[in-house]
Amino acid sequence: MRFAVDTGGTFTDLIVEDDAGICRMFKASTTPSDPVKGVLDALQVAADGMDLDRRAMLEGGSLLIHGTTHAINAIITGRTARTALLTSEGHPDVLMLREGGRAEAFNFNIGFPEPYIPRSLTFEVPGRLRLDGAELAPFDDAAVLAIIEKLKAKQVEAVAVCLLWSVVNPAHEARVGALLEQHLPGVPYTLSHRLNPSLREFRRASSAAVDASLKPLMGHYMSGLQQRLGDAGFSGRVLVITSNAGVIDAQDAAEAPIHIVNSGPSMAPVAGRWFSQTDEGNSNAIVADTGGTTYDVSLVRRGQIPMTRETWIGEPYSGVMLGFPWVDVKSVGAGGGSIAWVDTGGLLHVGPQSAGAVPGPVAYGRGGELPTVTDASVALGHLDPDYFLGGTMTLDRAGAEAAIRKHVAEPLGKSVAEAADAILAIATENMVQAIVDITVNQGIDPREAVLIGGGGAAGLNSVRIAQRLGCGTLVIPSVGATLSAAGALMSDLKAEYHAACFASTARFDFDRVNAALARLQASCEEFGAASGAIRQPVIRFKAEARYDTQVWEIEAPVRGPRFAGDVDVAAFVGDFHAAHRDLFGFADEASPIEIVGWTASITCPLRDAEGLTLPSNAVAQTARTRNAYFAATGWTDVPVRRFDAMHPGEAVEGPALLENALTTVVIDPGAVATRRASGGLSIAIGEKQ
C-alpha cells in the first residue's frame, strides 16, 4: 500500500493506492500549527473510509510521499534559524548588493530590501582564490577559529559558507567546513560549492544562506514526521516532494531543504501531463490547481514541464532569491478561501487575503466572518451544503448569504446572487491573468492547449476560465480534487548534479568538458544504484548557456555524456538555437555559444503504472435537480449528477452540476461534459452564454 499526502493551506489531500493498484482519495482539514497532525488526520479519514484500523493500514504501507509548505512558510514568516554567513574577505555585502534590477525602475519610494542574513552575522574569511583555482592568498585557520568563537557568542544556529571561486577550487570552503565540524559541533552548515556550484556569486550565496537557515527547522520536522508515522504503525519509506517535480528521501530533504521549498505545487503538472495526453492526446497543457489559499498555474510544453532558475520568494529583486531550478509556477491569491471585499471607491476585489484553514470560509461555521469564493458558490446553489466532502461536513448557506449581503451586495447595491456571481467573475479574471502571464512567457497560445482543472475548488469556475482563454477543452481529472497528491504518486525519485565548467563553441575544450560530464554521470549512477528503482533509471544532461556577450543563460539539452567531436558540438548548437527560438522567438545563428554550467539529472521510476486507477464500480443514482443561479439564466433548476454514476462516453449538457465526494464541477450553459475512460471529465466549452 502506498500513500501520497499534500499539505495545503486549507485541506490536506491524501491518495491511497492499495496492493491491487486501486487509488482512493481523501481530504482532512489542515492544522497550520501542527502540519503532521493534518497528515495523521487524513490517514485516519482514509482508514475510516476503507473500514480499516489505521495502524493496520499503515503497517501494510511500503511508501509515503509527502508534500509540504513548511519550508516556504518559514521563509515568508521569518521563522528560520539564526544563521551566519562566512564569505571571502572584502566581499561581505554579497547578499546586500544582490543582482541588478528593480520591479519599478523609477519608483524611488520603494525601500532597498534587507539582506537575507544581516551584516551583523556576516563574517569575512581571509584567503583568496583566482578564477582558475590558483591560490592568491593563503587560507588562515586561526582567523576562521576566531570567527567560530564569535559564532558561539552570537548563539548562531546554522552557518552558510560562500567563498569566491569555490566552484573551481573548493579547498578553502572544504577547510571551513572541517573547522566548523570540529569546533562548532551540532550546528548545521552549508557549503555553496556542494549545494549550488553556480558561477553567479549572489545566487550561490543566497541559496547557501536559505538552505542553511532551513536545516534546523526541517531537520526537526522530518524527524518528527518519521517518528510520529512510526508511532502510528508506518515503517516504510518516507519521500518528500521536491521543487523540480520529483521526490527525494526525507533524510536527504532534511540535509538539503532548499530542494523542497516549492514542494506541493510542482506535482500538479506531473498529473496534468498524463491526463492531457491520455484524455485528449495533447502534449500542451495549462495546469491550474485551485486550493483554498492560492491558484497555482503551471505548464506542460510538448510533453515537458518547464523549469526556471529565476526563483524568487516574494517580489522579483526585492524578495528572496533561491537560485535553484524549480517548476515554473505562477501563484496568485485567488483560491476557494480568497476573501471578497469592496474598497472605499466601491470596487469589488477578491484576494489576495485568504480565510485559510482557520477560520476558513463563513460557510464552514468555524468563526469566519468575511465572504469568500467558496461562500459565493454556496450562495449560488453550486455547492450542496449537505454533500460537502461527501457529506462529512455541512455548510452554512444562510451564513454565507448573510456575509455576502453585508460586505458585498449592499455596498454594491446588488442582490446576493448578483454579488456572488460578481465574486466568481473577479476571481476568474485574477486566474485568467495568471494563466496569460505564464503562457505568453513560455510561447504557448492558450487556444491550442488543454486546460487541466485541479484542486478541490477547480470545478467552481474552470469553465468560465476556459471560455475567457478561448480554450476549446477543459479536463477535470478523476483525481482532480487531489491533483498534486496524484502527481506525487505518479512521480519518480530524482537527483540533479551540477558542475561549473566554462566552454565556448568557438574553441571547445573537449577534454575538460568530457571530464566534467563524466563526473556528473558517475554521481548519477551512484545515486541510481542505491535508489530502489524498479525500472532502469534515465540520465539526462543539459547545459546553462548563452550567446557570446549575452548576460543571462538558458537551459539547453545535451544529447549524451560525451562530446566526441565537432559533430556533437554542432548538434548542441542546433539544440540551443531551437531552445532560444522557443523562448524568445529568434535565434542568433552566427554567434558562438558560451556554456557556464552543466547539469546531469537522474530519474528513477518507483512504480510500474504510469497513471492512476480509481474504483470502477459505478453507483446508482436517481435523477435530481437543484435550484442554482447562472448569469445567463438566472435562478433555474439544473440537473445534478454524480461522477461515478456516469459511464464512459456519457455526455451532460450545461447548465448542470456534476459532483463527487470531494468536488463539484459547474457546467455552465453552452458547455458539454463527457466522461472519459480514465474517469475524468472532458468538457467542450462552446460559446459563452
Percent of the chain topping pLDDT 90 = 63
User: Helical H runs in 503-629?
Assistant: 510-529, 566-584
Say what the pLDDT of residue 687 is. 59
Say what the pLDDT of residue 689 is. 47
Name the band, by pLDDT with cuts 50, 70 and 90, for residue 504: very high
Overall average pLDDT of the 473-478 stretch: 92
Say what the pLDDT of residue 231 is. 95
Q: Which three cell numbers stand for residue 8?
A: 495545503
Q: Which three cell numbers stand for residue 450?
A: 488543454
Say what the pLDDT of residue 139 is. 95
CATH superfamily name and code, 2-75+218-264: ATPase, nucleotide binding domain (3.30.420.40)
With residues binned 3-state (H G I as helix, E B as strand, rest as coil), the percentages for the chain, rounded to 5, are 35, 25, 40
Q: Please say whether the beta carbons of 193 and 166 come within 8 A.
A: yes
Say what the pLDDT of residue 578 is. 94
Distances, alpha carbon 626 to alpha carbons 77, 228, 602, 655, in Å = 43, 44, 51, 11
Q: Is the pLDDT higher at 590 or at 438? A: 590
Say what the pLDDT of residue 617 is. 59
CATH fit for domain 80-211, picks 2.160.20, 2.40.128, 3.30.1360, 3.40.50: 3.40.50
Q: What is the pLDDT of residues 19-71, one digit of tens each?
A: 888 899 998 888 878 889 989 999 999 999 999 999 999 999 999 999 988 88
Check for a shared fold between 2-75+218-264 and 493-604: no
Say what the pLDDT of residue 665 is. 93
Q: Which three cell numbers stand for residue 51?
A: 473500514
Overall average pLDDT of the 397-408 stretch: 96
Q: Please say whether the beta carbons of 457 and 373 come within 8 A.
A: yes
Taking the domains of the chain in order of start, what are their residue ranges? 2-75+218-264, 80-211, 338-426, 493-604
Distances, alpha carbon 500 to alpha carbons 145, 438, 598, 635, in Å = 29, 29, 6, 63
The β-bridge relationship of strands 473-476 and 681-684 is antiparallel
Q: Is the pLDDT higher at 359 or at 181? A: 181
Name the band, by pLDDT with cuts 50, 70 and 90, for residue 93: very high
Pick from 648, 646, 652, 658: which is nearest to 672 by CA?
A: 652
Q: Please say whether the beta carbons of 673 and 667 come within 8 A.
A: yes
Q: What is the pLDDT of residues 168-179, one digit of tens each?
A: 999 999 999 999
Q: According to the per-residue pLDDT averaged within each range, which of 8-17, 235-244, 316-325 is highest?
A: 235-244
CA distance 15 to 64: 10
Say what the pLDDT of residue 621 is. 66
Tell me which architecture the domain covering 493-604 has in CATH.
2-Layer Sandwich (3.30)
Say what the pLDDT of residue 210 is. 96
pTM beyond cutoff 0.85: yes
Percent of the chain topping pLDDT 70 = 98
Say what the pLDDT of residue 341 is. 94
Q: What is the pLDDT of residues 155-206, one digit of tens each?
A: 999 999 999 999 999 999 999 999 999 999 999 999 999 999 988 899 999 9
CA distance 446 to 354: 28
Say what the pLDDT of residue 618 is. 58
Say what the pLDDT of residue 619 is. 61
Tell me the pLDDT of the chain averaged across its residues. Answer: 90
Note the maximum CA span of the chain.
83
User: Is 571 exposed, middle or buried, given 0-12, 13-18 or 19+ CB atoms closer than 10 A?
Assistant: middle
Q: What is the pLDDT of residues 612-670, one digit of tens each?
A: 887 765 566 667 899 999 999 999 999 999 887 888 899 999 899 998 888 899 999 99
Q: Distance between the two ends of the chain, CA-based, in angstroms?
A: 46
Q: What is the pLDDT of residues 290-345, one digit of tens each?
A: 877 778 898 998 888 888 877 888 888 888 998 888 888 887 777 788 899 999 99
CA distance 186 to 48: 42
Torsions phi, psi for 611 (to 5 deg): -100, -160
